[in-house]
Structure 1
């Protein structure tokens, strides 16, 4: 692949169509259905696609021709305005076949929509590869861009999943075909300018009063009816509030009475339906939690509950039992079932192991110590879920089944989750990791497990490179979580995030307060400088539902701890003015780098769930342009001798393909054969199964623009790498110049990033 210099027109561009320009549209025989041509950003011509198709979820269509290279790999790029916000989807169809998948495929839909301005004041470019089967031997192709409404990935039927299109799409400005995965627009194209950094002025500390008001309001509602049992999660909320001095539940007899009433009710419900130990429906994702929250309630109120455990209660069927024995039965059943039904994905594993096993066991240790796992054995599950020890999977007859072998860790050595590769939003497990650490405190005021605290800090620091500067949805200075290169990410751009992503169950200050790590504290202080902390907390206060209220409970105390810390000089590494750096994680196959005012994220191991796909995912930001691209790269791997044949899926890129669209939606990738990498001995596998090993390469080489990246993901192999033959070359990892044509040995689990001028 030839070296392309930034700032010059790429010789690989084959064709350009300007939407809304009559001459360009005529030259490409464009026809439009349910579309309007309008001048938009920077007075550039554009088109929107409109609602009104044959089905509520269908919108307009653009049909046109485009030149392609008959012998090489071709790419298609769409130009969009970075300030537009729209949740509609755009899919590309070539010769009547759909390119990519609508939800979490290795080749995405052309546009999956935005939750906020993705690059205000500038254009953004979306690039995808075209299958060789559609371009080989051809000089041109027939393209369609079709508009459909938003999707909800968790919809249980087609109507819940595929939403109607109710508004025009965002403006489509230009489309291009080219032969290099790195697209460089013509220098004559307008590109806009970055908006000036503006710091928000409000809200401020008054938000803390609003938090306390909402929490106390929730407590008042729960205590208003003393004879009405609370749900399991509400009971846990009250137990935590009992220990939170500023709440109206703290230490009050009526709080304890409500908690005891609710635990008794939960036990009677368990007697009537023992499967509640597996999945108790008042919790979210019930089979991850079981009755573990009740175990935590018993742990938190051990002192107050102990005198009441030998009292006799009715089990709901007329039988009289001691409260101790009843609680023992339900917690033991919960712990046993969740040990036999563990989850693989990291965030799910953490929740299951924390609540379903560890906290159920902590409660069991209070009511029936002889039946509880010894603390070191119970800690094993937490250690496995946070990557301190190999994850051994579910158990049968007390023995782990080891579905991924004996040496699979839930997190990389550097602290990122593996699900299967890098994950942005769902990979932000700091809320659950902090809860795991907090759960090991003997009492709320004592230190928890030292190893878990150290791992929490490592995980938090590993996430720090994946925040980049971007105005928030209101245009104010902020740091944003990186999501375009994440395996399980569908929200773009990500949330305003500094040390910790806010969530229902955690806050931006939670991990910093638990660890007092200078880097995490520095991130919170940076968030305060940008006036984003209280804005984020205000959003949380305005959120709906009990789960939001419960997540607010700890914030005032955590904030008080963090605000008392001395000033930290540390700031997020992608912040303007911070030194250049390269972060690479060879187990996840991901890179984050800052080079002057350029930022580049790359997932080299990209959504290869079933086989080696040789695809990389790029998010490349310069002051003028934002690029998101899926491109081909060179991959070396150990073959298994097996192949995976892509099925005719146009929706999900995993599982069984998801909900089916009408028959006229045909995948352009159907029948493509991909090689499967070697599966380690002892791991059950057959082609078509999702597996951590099936699509993993040993060595990756990506050439993108002026960057040359080589990554050795293997644990025990060394590869040769040669620098480009000419130009000024700098190794961004070492900061040293590299002689053109120089060769190097790339050791196991190491990365080279060269910048070529």
Structure 2
């Protein structure tokens, strides 16, 4: 428990939110490790060094970079080819030297001879991924990568090549994942071969300094929430223009130019003359509504929230209700017979057929149920629920009440969402499916109470999506400490710096909707677990927070996305101090309050999130001071945080900020994603940052007892022993060599001759001290 709770000391808050008395903890002796012994190195652009290493690089771009050092860029069709010495009977590593201020978007790959090592988003990933943003301005980045033993065993040198592509897509057809390079890459300064995975550059190499950051200049009257309210109404007005609603559309329906059942849907840039026949209109409508995980349906959530916002010009506006009603009526006709919406063509009324469906459509449909729940009282008062509607687009059959038609729609969709075709194996998408399920069942309880699932039955499904019960495919989606695990929970998942953090909203929404104490606790835990991975950074020279992106299970990104974490419900209703701090920092950093702009398909989805956050920012703005600090904020105490099921560690120690993932992106045997095919890959990913340099390393680790038991990784002075088992104590061998160590989890010194016992579900991290 010590390791999982130490971060709370930064703000004087204990694991249960109780105030703690300040204590002075033991600390290790901080030392700079000596330079790494090198087997060989090449300085690109240096003629003597290149000549000595069989360099070939016709078409590469020679240049002078930081501190006047030579470098080369990979050109279009022009890789760097060279030969370096290797150890014949050891694991060899290659480290490349890059300048952190370069922002040339490209993906570098390592080759042994002409065979590529690793793949985009694989456990042996790309050598470097630059997405067009300076990762570490003013300083060098050293990227360490394991060389395949098959390339070095019994050999004293290895032929290497560094080539590049412009980008990659995991959704492209096989063989089309790479986007060809069209411009030169970032400069590459040097490459080194060594056997110690922890790279310390030679003493003679010049290192940079962190550039100064400043607080963004605040706009006049910041924070101006009245202006933010007006801006919201402006973008909502734009969104309303996308709805198939109003006189022009009514006229087109009356003229028989479009089906009446499409009124109320949202489609940007559509005119009444887009198609010539009803079938084309219907097919277009279902494809448009359900594309991008049905994200466009979040517009209905925006309508509901803006109708209830007292500051909006749309507050309690009857037209907003009318727009929502038309949207619901159209969805009830569009829906497939199996309750799903996603399909390439129309399968709705009058001849309803099963839709293909999607395990991601809940990302949009969750806003349909939530919109009804928010507006139920207003809809009841307006008398629209008992009005008659044609629920099957067939005039030969009797009309039914809108109450029945909508209840039918929600029942069908609820049942699809919890079917084998509706649940997702992906943590983020499954939580959205379950959020849609819960909101649909709430809507049913309001429309037709006998048809709603009992609360305790529905809660079983909810708990299975947030780590309080087992997933249908096995394992937990969220770790016991609260870390969302992408992509597929404890089976193959871990920390993710994008999708995993986005799940905070679903986890806390479900806590808010259900009001269950254990779900509230999971919301708090998730906010605090994610906070471990947020670090101070720069955004165009201005101070900001970013999410760690180099060890993520999804897309690597360095620097990570600008991200403040937290959650509106956790901050405002639960009063969680870490969540409140995240909102306070947004204001302290003068993050612009402008709402999302209508630029892409996720605009309305982002606007819902903004509308959830805005009132919390208003409340936090009235509090001018806040004692709690996030774990990695400057000036806080050193700590070590571990999450065993995730295989993740976060360390602040002696000026190091270290993030790690053990058995990173381990996947499954034969790519069969089930508990019978879990595996280890003995790959650890490390991101260690100091003030003057940055290290990203993919290294070899040990899992002597297999998946979910005991993992061991050594990276320089850091030795990690992680016990994932619930029933066995393991031993972490003594440091030896006359050296001692300091246990960063228990905050105590360890004799060099001592064997460290690692209890079940705990981790020990030893920081080795020099003899």
TM-score w.r.t. length of structure 1: 0.82
- After TM superposition, give the deviation of residue 276 of structure 1 in Å: 6.0
Q: 1:342-369 CA distances to partner (integer Å, 9 max, x unpaired)?
A: 11222111100011x1111111112111
Tell me whether 1:701 sits opposite 2:712 in the alignment. yes
Give distance in 2, aligned partners of 1:33 and 1:89.
Answer: 20
| Pairing of 1:51-70 with structure 2 (within 5 A) | 51=76, 53=77, 60-70=78-88
Q: Deviations along 1:115-157, whole A, 9 cap, x unmatched?
A: 5221111100111111111111111111111121112333457
Corresponding residue for 1:126? 143
* Local SS of the residue matching 1:66: strand
Instruction: Indicate whether 1:567 and 2:593 are aligned.
Output: no
- Give the drift of 1:621: 1.0
How far did 1:239 drift?
1.4
Q: CA deviation at 1:262?
A: 1.9
Listed one character per residue, the Cα deviations across residues 239-296 of structure 1 (whole Å, up to 9, x for unaligned) are 12111111222111111122112222222223xx435634389999753357543322
Contact 1:86 1:170 in 2 (8 A): yes
1:614 alignment partner in structure 2: 682
Secondary structure in structure 2 of the residue aligned to 1:25 = helix
- What is the DSSP-based 3-state SS (H/G/I as helix, E as strand, rest coil) of the residue aligned with 2:765? strand
Deviation of 1:729 (Å): 2.1
Q: Deviations over 1:473-505 (max 9, x none)?
A: x022222211211212333221222343xxxxx
- Provide the C-alpha distance between the structure 2 equivalents of 1:756 and 1:456, rounded to a whole number of angstroms: 36
- Hey, what does 2:577 align to over in structure 1? 518
Give the equivalent residue in structure 2 for 1:230: 265
Q: Deviations along 1:625-649, whole A, 9 cap, x unmatched?
A: 21111111222224xxxxxxxxxxx
Instruction: Find the counterpart in structure 2 of residue 33 from structure 1.
Output: 58
Match of 1:660 in 2: none
Match of 2:99 among 67, 78, 81: 81
Is the CA contact 1:335–1:361 (under 8 Å) kept in the aligned structure 2? yes
Q: 1:26 to 1:583 in 2, by over 3 A?
A: same
- 2:342 pairs with one of 270, 279, 290: 279
Q: What's the counterpart of residue 649 of structure 1?
A: none
Shift of 1:324: 1.9
Q: 1:528 to 1:728 in 2, by over 3 A?
A: farther
The 5-angstrom pairing of residues 36-185 of structure 1 reads 36-51=61-76, 53=77, 60-102=78-120, 104-155=121-172, 161-185=177-201
Out of 356, 360, 373, which is 2:440 matched to? 360
CA contact (8 A) 2:389 2:401 kept: yes
Matches within 5 A, 1:436-515: 436-440=510-514, 448-472=515-539, 474-500=540-566, 511-515=570-574
Return the alpha-carbon distance in structure 1 between the equivalents of residues 423 and 390 of structure 2: 33
1:591 aligned partner? 649
Is 1:382 matched up with 2:449?
Answer: no
1:631 and 1:297, CA in 2 relative to 1: closer, same or farther beyond 3 A? same
Tell me the CA shift for residue 712 of structure 1.
1.1
Does the CA contact (< 8 Å) of 1:723 and 1:740 recur in 2?
A: yes
Counterpart of 2:730 (choices 719, 725, 729) is 719
Shift of 1:30: 0.7
Summarize the Cα distance change of 1:223–1:739 in structure 2 as closer, same or farther, 3 Å threshold: closer
Segments of structure 1 that go 5 or more residues without pairing to the other structure are 54-59, 394-402, 441-447, 501-507, 639-695
Q: Per the alignment, in what secondary structure is the counterpart of residue 471 of structure 1?
A: strand
Distance of 2:235 and 2:338 partners within structure 1: 29
DSSP 3-state at the match of 2:197: coil
Q: Deviations for 1:363-416, whole angstroms, at most 9, x for unmatched residues?
A: 11121111111222222222221122333x2xxxxxxxxx32xxx322111111
CA contact (8 A) 1:280 1:287 kept: no
Q: Would the aligned equivalents of 1:719 and 1:745 in 2 still touch at CA under 8 Å?
A: yes
1:722 Cα deviation after fit = 2.8
Q: Deviations over 1:441-487 (max 9, x none)?
A: xxxxxxx4333222111110111111122222x02222221121121
Q: Which residue of 414, 429, 432 maps to 1:335?
A: 414
How far did residue 727 of structure 1 move? 2.4
Which runs of no fewer than 5 residues in structure 2 stay unpaired? Answer: 1-29, 251-262, 267-296, 347-356, 487-492, 669-678
Taking a change above 3 Å as real, the CA distance of residues 548 and 706 of structure 1, as seen in their structure-2 partners, is same
Shift of 1:558: 2.5
Distance 1:555 1:720, change over 3 A: closer
Are residues 35 and 202 of structure 1, via their aligned partners in 2, closer, same or farther at CA, if it must alter by over 3 Å?
A: farther
Corresponding residue of 1:19: 44
| CA distance in structure 2 between the partners assigned to 1:432 and 1:33 by the alignment | 52
Distance 1:550 1:525, change over 3 A: closer
Aligned-pair RMSD on alpha carbons? 2.5
1:317 and 2:382 are equivalent in the alignment: no
* Cα offset, 1:728, TM superposition: 4.2
Q: Does residue 256 of the first structure (1) align with residue 321 of the second (2)?
A: yes
| TM-score, L = length of structure 2 | 0.80
Residue 509 to residue 562, structure 1, CA distance change in 2 (3 Å): farther
Q: Determine helix, strand or coil for the equivalent of 2:432.
A: helix
CA distance in 1, matches of 2:620, 2:721: 40
Where in structure 2 are the equivalents of 1:380-459 lying within 5 Å? Answer: 380-391=460-471, 393=472, 403-404=473-474, 408-419=475-486, 420-428=493-501, 429-440=503-514, 448-459=515-526
- Distance (Å, rounded) in 2 between the aligned partners of 1:295 and 1:699: 44
* Aligned mate of 2:312, from 243, 247, 252: 247
Residues 57 and 81, structure 2, Cα contact 8 Å, conserved in 1? yes
Contact 1:279/1:291 (8 A) holds in 2? no
**Does the CA-based 8 Å contact 2:376-2:446 persist in structure 1?**
yes
Q: CA deviation at 1:619?
A: 0.5
> For 1:599-621, what per-residue CA distance to the aligned partner results, in whole angstroms no more than 9, with x for missing partners?
11111131111232211111111
CA contact (8 A) 1:522 1:567 kept: no
Give the 5 Å matches for 1:523-602.
523-531=582-590, 533-534=591-592, 537-538=593-594, 540-541=596-597, 544=600, 545-565=603-623, 567-602=625-660
Q: What pairs with 1:670-685 in structure 2 (closer than 5 Å)?
A: none
